Amino acid sequence: MNHPTDPHKMIQASTPAGTNPGYMPGFGNDFETEALPGALPQGMNSPQRCNYGLYGEQLSGTAFTANPPERTWCYRIRPSVKHSHRYDKINLPYWKSAPCVDPDVTSLGQYRWDPVAHTQDGLTWLTGMRTMTTAGDVNTQVGMASHIYLVTESMVDDYFFSADSELLVVPQEGRLRFATELGIIDLEPKEIAILPRGLVYRVEVLEGPARGFVCENYGQKFELPGRGPIGANCMANPRDFKAPIAAYEDREVPSTVTVKWCGQFHTTKIGQSPLDVVAWHGNYAPYKYDLRTYCPVGAILFDHPDPSIFTVLTAPSGQPGTANIDFVLFRERWMVAEDTFRPPWYHKNIMSELMGNIYGQYDAKPQGFVPGGMSLHNMMLPHGPDQDAFDNASNSNLGPDKLDNTMSFMIETRFPQHLTSFAATEAPLQDDYIDCWTSLEKKFDGTPGKK
C-alpha cells in the first residue's frame, strides 16, 4: 500500500546550495544576504529601529522611476554621510576621462600595443590606472574609457568609489581582492568583475604584480544581450554570474575615501572603515563571471557571423541595437565552416573596436597581438587578417579545427575613441602595426575562375 510522501522525510540541501562559497548565483537577481543573523529586516525596508542598531540606507543605481529600478537596501553600522566629509581635490594624472582630446595626439589610425610593463614604482588601484582611450563625455553619461592597470600594492585604510562609471575589470596577470561595501570579490585571469557606480571598495593584491584591463562605462549599466532566435541557453548563462554575500568590518582607524566625480578626483578623511554593511538586499550589486563558462555559438555549415554573436555583456546607448559598449569574447572554439574564409573578414565599422589579449594567440593576427597587449581599430578605419592569417585561411584544408589556447576580448563602442598622451607616447605602441597588411598583393588580373 502506498502512503503519501511524508514531508518530514524530504532531504534538504545545505545552504547555500549548488553555488560557490561566498557568492550568490544569478544575473541582476533581487538578492538578500546578512552577515549576522536577523540583521536583514523581513517584509519591509525601513523599520522604526533596525536590529543591532544598524542604519537603513538605499543605494540607487537607476532613477527611482526606471523600469525596473535597480537599488539595494543596506543595513550598516554608520550611514554613508559619516563616510563623507569635506573634499580636497587630488591629481591622478594617468587616469583620464572623456572628453580628453589631445591636439598633439592622432587617434585616426590602426594601433597596436605590446603589454605595458611593470616598473619599480609601488602602484595601487588608483595610482596604477593608465588610461589608453576615452570616448563620449563623462558629464553627459555617455561613452567610456579604457585603461590598463598595473597594481603592486594593496590599498590600506584607503577606499574608492566612482560616481562617474561602472567598471568592468578584466585581469590578465595576478590576483586581486575587491573588498566592497556589499561583500568580497576575489578575481583572477579568465574571470571578469563589474563594480557598480557609487559602490565603495578597496583593492588588495592577493598575488602580484597584477595587470589587466578596465572598461569604464559612463552610460547605462551592462546587461545580458538579447539572445533572439538562439533562445534561452548558451552564450553567458545568468546562473554563472556571482554576487558576493554580505561582509563587513567594524574598524575605527583614520581612513581616506577617494571619489571620482565628473572626471575629477577628490579625497575625504574619515575615522573608520566605510565597509560596514552588515546585511543587504536588492538588485544593484557587484558581481563576477568566469569567462570559461561562456558557451560560444557560431556558424556550423558556412560563413563567419558578425562578432556580436560572441557578446558577453552589452551596455545600451538609448538607440536600440547600437551599444554604448559591447563586451565580446573570443575564446576556444571549434571551426567547422565549409568552403569558408574562416578568420574575421576585412571590414570597416562605424563602431570603434578596442581589443585586449588575455592569453594565447588570436586567429586573425598570429603574430604581434600578445597576451597583455591591445589594439584599436577606430571608427570607419579598415582592418582584417594580416598576410599570414590570410594565406593560411585561404589555403588550408578545412576539416574541423579547434582554436585552442586563445582568449581575447573586444570593447566595441558607438563613439570614436581618442588616444591619451600615455597611449601615444609612453605605452609600447607598435610603430609597424600598419605594415602587417603591406604584403597583401593584388591577385586580380581579369582572368575568370582564378582564385
Annotated catalytic residues are: 304
- Largest Cα span, the chain: 88
Q: Which is nearer to Fe ion, 276 or 353 (CB)?
A: 353
What does the block give as the cell for 142?
555617455
Cα–Cα distances (Å) from 430 to 138, 214, 346, 378, in that order, read 29, 21, 21, 16
Which residues in 218-290 belong to E strands, given as ranges?
Answer: 241-244, 255-261, 264-270, 277-282, 287-290
Q: Is 412 known to sit in a ligand binding site?
A: no
SS3 label, residue 387: helix
Q: What is the DSSP string of 156-222?
A: SSEEEEESS-EEEEEEEEEEEEEEETTEEEEE-TTEEEEE-TT--EEEEEEEEEEEEEEEEE-SSPP
Binding residues vs Fe ion (CB under 5 A): 353
**To the nearest whole angstrom, how small is the minimum distance from the Cβ of residue 172 to Fe ion?**
21
Q: Which is nearer to Fe ion, 97 or 378 (CB)?
A: 378
Q: Is 383 known to sit in a ligand binding site?
A: yes
CA distance 290 to 307: 20
CA distance 219 to 313: 14
Q: Which is nearer to Fe ion, 34 or 353 (CB)?
A: 353
Q: Is 347 known to sit in a ligand binding site?
A: yes
Q: Is 353 known to sit in a ligand binding site?
A: yes
Neighbours of 339 (CB within 10 A): 8
**To the nearest whole angstrom, how small is the minimum distance from the Cβ of residue 434 to Fe ion?**
15
Q: Which is nearer to Fe ion, 204 or 353 (CB)?
A: 353
Q: Which is nearer to Fe ion, 154 or 349 (CB)?
A: 349
**To the nearest whole angstrom, how small is the minimum distance from the Cβ of residue 340 to Fe ion?**
18
CA distance 23 to 5: 33
CA distance 155 to 228: 43
Position of cell 585603461? Answer: 147
Neighbours of 396 (CB within 10 A): 10
**To the nearest whole angstrom, how small is the minimum distance from the Cβ of residue 311 to Fe ion?**
14
Q: Which residues participate in the annotated binding site?
A: 347, 353, 362, 383
Q: Which residues participate in the annotated binding site for Fe cation?
A: 347, 353, 383
Q: Which residues participate in the annotated binding site for homogentisate?
A: 362, 383
